[in-house]
């Protein structure tokens, strides 16, 4: 009888230890995924920095009266590059400012028919549009990895291991208020006939900058609720 | 605040997954019931029933494994799709790349079908072996945002392992059909009914009853299983819609794309009965206008209304109401 008890205790100990190892490894993997997702964002941001000078040069000759917009974009880009070395918070603020200035530029390009006919400009605009979207989706993916990790360290049984072993909550990427404002764009051309032309203001890109939720830390296993405040992008023309 | 309740795609996704699972459980139960009743009804031995059921499943699985590994290339060739890359279709590749970042999957292979009817499909047993095919008609008629919605839907089919899922369901349904067919032929042509005594004793009356049940099941089960298979297909379409919104966070793009695709009355020439279930909108059924239990896809209006629920807009009564509301 004593032997049986001993065996049971040993089995329990093995189960707890193995389970603990598996949980620990899972937490480490999730944390590493966050770092990878963050690095991906940096790759996309750098790509945008490199594209912008080409765009500015291509449109400069045509947009005589809009020099302020071009200057704004160039300066915002320079700030973003320097802020890139200063850490996530400063970098995020500078990148959002750059996004806003680019949106103003795209909106203005709409008013210049000779620019819209210029294939070079359209190529660059498509490149920038896709880069904007890739940045947004990278941030969205980053938030998803952070959500996964934060949920793990707060739910049972991982919570037992996370605390003592120093796994701390990570921050979501939040869009600033300034980035949420959109320049007024002629929405009359939205939809029909837009097929091949990229939609410069790409509304999804703005929505993507906002986190999928500033989710309330949901009770375990319950899916976080999507805040209804996510504005629908339907043009209400 | 509008009268429509704003849903979340998370709740739609979990609902769809639960329904799919329930339907698979139902089919499996039907298969088990058929196998056991045949086995017991014929021989009085439960073991025989289990063996018959397992044998049918194995055979169906073997037959399906060929399509699992080679199905992609067959379907793409049958649809006359040609592969494209950065230089031949830059904007399309950009959109696909954006969504593979959002979905955290490798880039799928992208194909174009030269047809002015707007449609798209995806195939692939897992995200590492995925292919997407888009018609030139779709690329012309949709703008970037709508294209994003469609590509998100297709990539979600792969990401949700729908190809595997429908294969699993196909194996189960195939087993039911196979087992029922063999049993009915065996008894009608072999005249075996009632000749076998029960080996385990005491089987008499119960065995006859079970045999009668077996007959009933053998006739009804294949039809029922087929209907369940179609129900599963519809559930997975709803799931792919909700998953697309999960990726793009923009229900409006997909909603408009579905409306545009539905309005187009042109038939897709390369589509046929074998491939119809793969497309985002059924290319054959949409022109006949019939929507019922035999449909592989849910009604487009229902899909649109579910998407509208996600953005807090009121549901529509008909597709025409959409154009009248000036949303085109």
This prediction's pTM: 0.74
As a whole number, the mean pLDDT across chain A is: 73
Phi, psi of A211 (to 5 degrees): -65, 155
pLDDT score at B139? 94
pLDDT score at B120? 92
Question: pLDDT per residue over A83-94, tens digit each?
Answer: 887 877 788 888
Q: What ranges do the domains of chain A cover?
A: 51-181+201-215
pLDDT score at B190? 63
> Starting at the edge strand that comes first in sequence, how are the strands of the sheet with B109-113 ordered?
B81-83, B109-113, B131-135, B120-123
Q: From the list B91, B250, B326, which residue is nearest A126 (CB)?
A: B91
Residue of chain A with shortest Cα separation from B15: A223
With an 8 Å Cβ cutoff, are A198 and B9 in contact?
no
Q: How far is it, in rounded angstroms, from Cα B261 to Cα B221? A: 35
With an 8 Å Cβ cutoff, are B11 and A223 in contact?
yes
pLDDT score at B28? 84
The answer to whether residue B244 neighbours chain A at the CB level (below 8 Å) is no
Cα distance from A6 to chain B (closest Cα, Å)? 40
Cα distance from A118 to chain B (closest Cα, Å)? 17
Q: Which residues of B are catalytic?
A: 154
Q: How far is it, in rounded angstroms, from Cα A87 to Cα A94? A: 11
Q: From the list B101, B140, B250, which residue is nearest A204 (CB)?
A: B250
Question: pLDDT per residue over A51-78, tens digit each?
Answer: 888 888 877 777 666 778 888 888 999 9
Share of chain A above pLDDT 90, in %: 20
Closest CA to A30 of A178, A145, A166, A187: A145
- CB < 8 Å to A195, chain B: 139-143
Q: From the list A129, A195, A237, which residue is nearest B142 (CB)?
A: A195
The answer to whether residue B18 neighbours chain A at the CB level (below 8 Å) is no
The answer to whether residue B82 neighbours chain A at the CB level (below 8 Å) is no
With an 8 Å Cβ cutoff, are A226 and B9 in contact?
yes
- CB < 8 Å to B316, chain A: none
- Does the structure show a pLDDT above 60 at A182? no
Residue of chain B with shortest Cα separation from A195: B143
- Does the structure show a pLDDT above 50 at A184? no
Cα distance from A9 to chain B (closest Cα, Å)? 38
Q: How many residues in total does chain A contain? A: 237
Cα distance from B251 to chain A (closest Cα, Å)? 8
Q: How far is it, in rounded angstroms, from Cα B237 to Cα B298? A: 7
Least confident of A161-170, A215-224, B131-140: A215-224
- CB < 8 Å to A123, chain B: 90
The answer to whether residue B33 neighbours chain A at the CB level (below 8 Å) is no
Mean pLDDT by 10 residues, chain B (328 residues): 53 81 85 83 79 81 75 81 90 94 92 92 86 93 93 91 80 84 78 49 70 87 88 89 91 91 82 76 72 81 88 80 56
Helix (H) or strand (E) holding B122: strand B120-123
Contact present, B285 and B296 (Cβ < 8 Å): yes
pLDDT score at B197? 46
pLDDT score at B108? 93
- CB < 8 Å to A39, chain B: none
pLDDT score at B189? 66
With an 8 Å Cβ cutoff, are B95 and A207 in contact?
no
- CB < 8 Å to A126, chain B: 90-91, 94
SS3 B279: strand
Cα dihedral across residues A200, A205, A206, A207: positive or negative? positive
pLDDT score at B42? 78
Q: How far is it, in rounded angstroms, from Cα B291 to Cα B302? A: 11
- Does the structure show a pLDDT above 70 at A26? yes
Q: Which residues of A touch B (CB under 8 A)?
A: 40, 123, 126, 129-130, 133-134, 137-138, 140-141, 144, 190-192, 194-199, 202-204, 207-208, 212, 223-226, 228, 230, 232-234, 237
Q: What is the 3-state secondary structure (H, E, C) of B12-23?
A: HHHHHHHHHHHH
Cα distance from B305 to chain A (closest Cα, Å)? 15
pLDDT score at B52? 79
A15 burial via Cβ count (<10 Å: 0-12, 13-18, 19+): exposed
List beta partners, residue B113.
B81, B135
The answer to whether residue B4 neighbours chain A at the CB level (below 8 Å) is no
């Amino acid at each position: 009888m004593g032997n049986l008890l001993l065996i049971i205790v040993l089995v329990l100990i093995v189960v707890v230890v193995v389970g603990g190892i598996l949980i620990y490894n899972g937490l480490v993997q999730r944390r590493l995924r966050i770092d990878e997702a963050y690095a991906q964002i940096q790759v996309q941001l750098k790509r945008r920095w490199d594209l912008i000078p080409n765009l500015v040069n291509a449109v400069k000759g045509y947009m005589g009266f809009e020099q302020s917009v071009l200057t704004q974009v160039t300066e915002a880009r320079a700030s973003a590059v320097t802020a890139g070395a200063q850490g996530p918070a400063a970098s995020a603020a500078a990148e959002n400012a750059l996004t806003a200035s680019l949106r103003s530029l795209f909106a203005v390009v709409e008013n210049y028919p000779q620019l819209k006919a210029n294939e070079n400009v359209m190529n660059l605009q498509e490149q920038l549009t896709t880069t904007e979207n890739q940045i947004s989706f990278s941030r969205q993916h980053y938030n998803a990895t952070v959500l996964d990790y934060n949920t793990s360290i707060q739910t049972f049984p991982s919570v037992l291991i996370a605390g003592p072993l120093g796994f701390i909550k990570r921050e979501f990427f939040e869009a600033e208020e300034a980035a949420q404002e959109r320049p007024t764009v002629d929405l009359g051309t939205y939809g029909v006939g837009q097929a091949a032309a990229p939609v410069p203001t790409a509304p999804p890109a703005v929505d993507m900058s906002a986190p999928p939720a500033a989710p309330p830390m949901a009770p375990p296993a319950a899916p976080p609720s999507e805040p209804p405040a996510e504005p629908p992008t339907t043009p209400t023309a | 605040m509008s009268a429509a309740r704003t849903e979340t795609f998370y709740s739609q996704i979990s609902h769809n997954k639960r329904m799919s699972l329930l339907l698979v459980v139902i089919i499996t139960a039907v298969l088990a019931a058929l196998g056991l009743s045949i086995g017991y009804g014929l021989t009085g031995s439960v073991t025989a029933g289990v063996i018959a059921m397992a044998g049918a499943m194995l055979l169906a699985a073997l037959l399906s494994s060929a399509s699992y590994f080679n199905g992609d290339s067959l379907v793409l060739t049958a649809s006359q799709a040609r592969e494209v890359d950065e230089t031949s279709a830059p904007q399309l590749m950009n959109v696909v790349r954006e969504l593979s970042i959002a979905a955290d999957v490798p880039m799928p292979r992208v194909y174009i079908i030269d047809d002015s009817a707007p449609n798209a499909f995806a195939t692939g047993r897992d995200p590492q072996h995925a292919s997407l095919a888009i018609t030139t008609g779709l690329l012309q008629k949709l703008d970037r945002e709508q294209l994003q919605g469609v590509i998100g839907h297709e990539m979600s089919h792969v990401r949700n392992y729908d190809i595997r899922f429908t294969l699993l369901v196909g194996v189960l349904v195939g087993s039911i059909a196979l087992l029922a067919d063999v049993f009915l032929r065996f008894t009608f042509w072999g005249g075996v009914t009632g000749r076998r005594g029960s080996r385990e004793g005491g089987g008499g009356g119960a065995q006859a009853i079970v045999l009668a049940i077996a007959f009933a099941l053998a006739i009804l089960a294949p039809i029922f299983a087929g209907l369940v298979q179609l129900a599963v297909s519809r559930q997975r379409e709803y799931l792919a819609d909700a998953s697309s919104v999960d990726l793009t966070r923009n229900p409006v793009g997909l909603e408009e794309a579905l409306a545009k695709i539905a309005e187009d009355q042109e038939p897709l020439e390369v589509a046929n009965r074998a491939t119809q279930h793969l497309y985002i909108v059924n290319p054959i059924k949409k022109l006949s206008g019939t929507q019922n239990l035999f449909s592989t896809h849910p009604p487009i209006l229902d899909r649109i209304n579910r998407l509208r629920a996600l953005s807090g807009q009121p549901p529509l009564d008909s597709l025409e109401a959409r154009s009248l509301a000036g949303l085109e």
